Structure 1
Amino acid sequence: MSDSELAGRTALVSGAASGIGAAIARRFRAAGARVCGLDLAPAQGVDVARVADLRSDGDVESALARLGEVDILVHAAALSLHGGTIDTAPADWADIYDVNVVGAVRLMRGVVPGMRARGGGSILLLSSINAQFAAPTLAAYAASKSAVESLTRTAALEFAPYAIRVNAIAPASVDTPLLRESFDRTGDPEAARAANILRHPLGRLGMPEDVAELALFLASDRASWITGAIHPLDGGAHVTRR
């Protein structure tokens, strides 16, 4: 691996202002990419920061205007809400799908024509371990991530003739502000954190940098024969969901 393996390429990273998206943006820049960070607030430490609400066609189109060629797309932005199937309001279900799933489609509509014209590209979507397991307290989020995985497979097949690869990463618990907020809601954050760690056989939470390293590999030429795959990144949690 070279620290300049993404040199000369432009990467668009949604959700780049914090958490996993920010870690991916940093890692891609360190590997030589020109990084455009897209979020509801300006991302720090990127080459180009654009503000957009992924629920808005106009916002996304404006953010991508004059950006130039995009070689790599990472959709790390996500919306989540604590709640069960009927406890979550229909409007909230729609909001979560609009960001997590349709937001990915809006971004692909903006960058895939250019990738196709240039003869290739790489697209990476962020899923979740919750896509494959029952998640009574995250019903809408989990369902949206299942949709992201289906979208990954379908887009990979559609875009393969143009040498555009589409993959997804499915992390378990990653130590981000969003996860820490969920611990805070329990009333005993330290106990909640300890219990969550026990669900991962490797004995720790994931870090955003763990996701960024896998994202770099999948975006790079080292993964040139990988497409349509969902890659677990979960400290072994998928082996035994505890």
Structure 2
Amino acid sequence: MTLPTHLWKICIVFGWLAVSAPATQAESFDMPPEGEDIVGEIRVVIAESSDTLLDIARKHDLGYNEIMAANPDVDPWLPNEGAYIILPTQFVLPKAPRRGLVLNIPQMRLFYFVAAKGTEPAKVITHPIGIGREYLGTPFGRTSITTKRKNPTWYPPESIRKERAMEQRSLPKFVPPGPNNPLGNYAMNLGMPGYLIHGTNRPWGIGRRVSHGCIRLYPEDIE
């Protein structure tokens, strides 16, 4: 996801978040006509001996929740070589304006609506996201992206440091860029203090409620 040089407008309302943003090079679908809300199609792949369901999910830009729901009888760690794995790569577009970024929080999906330009038709791009835990939910509302950072330093909020201390796991006052930084390689601060859209150093958390309210993307999706 290419970071813009201008602020993005954001709206998080009734389970979705909308952002005005520039185009990316990710796989995309042609925008369906008004009144049609389905893009993509369900596919099937064959598992290899080294695969886990999480490997397959990431390879096909799916979240943990999606791959598990589509394959409830498959062992996520040992799916067996030759097993048929359903890829739920057909998506229902959120009931929201078809412009900018729309994050459907319950669906754990980001939808990026790209307007038609010249001879290029309108497109929609979608990625899975990780969101806040049930007791630390990702908020709804209107805001903007205020800053955009590459190789960010993480300054853990005092609440998280206290939580870790209660678990007898200390956290430093800041974590520099690198493989131990939970923000990954890119972070975008929201106008809502303390909330970000960022990458991750734990890709298994995409498609799960694992954060303290921030929105996580696979490293390759946030770039």
Shorter chain as denominator, the TM-score bin is under 0.3
Q: TM-score, normalised by structure 2?
A: 0.27
Structure having greater relative contact order (Cα 8 Å, sep ≥ 6): 2
Kindly indicate which of the two structures has a greater share of residues assigned to helix.
1
Question: Greater CA radius of gyration, 1 or 2?
Answer: 2
- Larger strand percent: 2
